[in-house]
Amino acid sequence: GQQVMQIPQYQHVQEGEDFTTYCNSSTTLSNIQWYKQRPGGHPVFLIQLVKSGEVKKQKRLTFQFGEAKKNSSLHITATQTTDVGTYFCAGGSNTGKLIFGQGTTLQVKP
Q: Please list the residues that pair with 65 across neighbouring strands.
A: 72
Tally Cβ neighbours within 10 Å of residue 69: 21
Q: Which is nearer to other proteins, 44 or 55 (CB)?
A: 44
Q: Is 44 in the site for other proteins (CB under 8 A)?
A: yes
Do residues 28 and 70 lie in contact, with contact meaning Cβ atoms separated by under 8 Å? yes
Q: Is 66 in the site for other proteins (CB under 8 A)?
A: no
Q: Is 11 in the site for other proteins (CB under 8 A)?
A: no
Side chain identity at residue 87, one-letter code: Y
SS3 content of the chain, % helix, strand, coil (to 5): 5, 55, 40
Q: Which is nearer to other proteins, 13 or 47 (CB)?
A: 47
Q: Which is nearer to other proteins, 35 or 63 (CB)?
A: 35
Positive or negative, the Cα torsion across 57, 84, 19, 33? negative
Out of 16, 45, 51, 68, point to the residue binding other proteins (CB under 8 A). Answer: 45
Write out the residues near other proteins by the rule CB under 8 A.
Answer: 6, 30-31, 33, 35, 41-45, 48, 50, 88, 90, 92, 94-103
